[in-house]
Amino acid sequence: MVAVVLALNSGSSSLKYGLYAVDPEPVLLVGGTIETPDDDGDDHARFFDTIEAALKGWPVPTVIGHRIVHGGPHRDAHCRIDGAVMADLDVACAFAPLHGPASLALIRAAEVRYPGVPQIACFDTAFHADMPDIARTLPIPREYQATGVRRYGFHGLSCESILRQLGGDMPPRLVIAHLGNGASVTAVRDGRSIDTSMGLTPSGGLMMATRTGDIDPGVLLYLLRETEMDAKVLATMVDHAAGMTGISGLSGDMRVLRVAETDDADLAIRMFERSVCKQIAAMIVSLGGADLLVLTGGIGENDEPTVQAIRTGLAWVPGLEIRIFPSQEDAQIAIHAAALA
């Protein structure tokens, strides 16, 4: 039986949707992207008007799949959404305030628009759930680890889609660099995540479009102690005003920075490229070498100067093949949703 899946991919700056026929491979029927500016808040019910207009004339979904960025400490496998799952997702918002509330609002809006249609949660964290302890554990006292403070890792659906596309060509030692508005690098050994750059939240790891990535914690303590920042203002800075946006003073959009021709824009680009190369090198260490590096995401797929900078920065790695693949998160959501419905 063919499943008709509405895949909803709620990110930090956009909402992607796609209607797929899955039997058993996903075939995209219609899809699109809705930009979600910061001032839109959680008004995802309004976005459904746009989605339903695009779906007019196509089959009604038999199942709805959602990308959930953070499953929290209690959800590490894709699953059907019920009351218990919603309660856990509400708790998990503390770990991903950029994404969690918007995802919950989207699930509730979908339930109103499509009553009785099963909804599936597809977790970005699931791919990394069985990372070894040396990668999973953060260097803090055990008492905090017990509350769920650990490395979770993200962009798992993107990584899954790369493995699916590689199929039998997947090498034993693979590095995946998902480079977009959010960016991360993952080490994959024999098809399993063994290390990744993002940590407790999607704010860690690489310098990103608007996020700091890894930063000396003393900087944050200094700002709290010596300025008028409180936790809320600091969080806004870390997630919305830092990264390439903060350095350039212009934008975190690589397309804007490439044509800006200012010293600060140039510095932001060079810092991003260096950050990517350093994290890839770290994942090569975790793997004990690498057979293939896959670049994906908006920047990884489309920005040739960044790709060339990575090739140059990693020229010292013997025998490293670099390939570019599209991130197919939405198709991956459709596959999981069809299987779990």
What is the secondary structure of 207-246 as a DSSP string? --SS---S--HHHHHHHHHHSS--HHHHHHIIIII-HHHH
Clarify whether residues 248 and 186 are in a common domain: yes
> Residue 262 domain-assigned?
yes
Reply yes or no on whether 124 is catalytic. Answer: yes
pLDDT value at 314 more than 90: yes
**Which residue out of 23, 49, 124, 169 is catalytically annotated?**
124
Clarify whether residues 336 and 320 are in a common domain: no
Contact 326, 301 (CB under 8 A): yes
Clarify whether residues 122 and 263 are in a common domain: no
- The predicted structure's pLDDT at residue 189: 98
pLDDT value at 43 more than 80: no
pLDDT value at 12 more than 70: no
Q: What is the pLDDT of residues 259-305, one digit of tens each?
A: 999 999 999 999 999 999 999 999 999 999 999 999 999 999 999 99
> Residue 22 domain-assigned?
yes
Take residue 133 and report the two structure tokens written for it: 């302890």
Contact 152, 199 (CB under 8 A): yes
Clarify whether residues 190 and 307 are in a common domain: yes
Q: 205 vs 74, 108, 135, 263, CA distance in Å?
A: 23, 31, 13, 24
Which CATH number characterizes residue 272's domain? 3.30.420.40
Number of domains in the chain: 2
Clarify whether residues 334 and 301 are in a common domain: no
Q: Which domain holds residue 96?
A: 3-151+329-340
Q: Where are the beta strands (DSSP E) in the chain?
A: 3-10, 14-22, 26-35, 63-68, 79-80, 119-123, 173-179, 183-189, 192-196, 292-296, 321-324
pLDDT value at 320 more than 90: yes
Clarify whether residues 66 and 22 are in a common domain: yes
pLDDT value at 41 more than 90: no
- The predicted structure's pLDDT at residue 97: 84
- The predicted structure's pLDDT at residue 38: 53
CA atoms within 13 A on the CB side of 292: 20
Q: What is the pLDDT of residues 263-273, one digit of tens each?
A: 999 999 999 99
Can you give the pTM of this predicted structure? 0.95
- The predicted structure's pLDDT at residue 42: 53
Clarify whether residues 126 and 179 are in a common domain: no
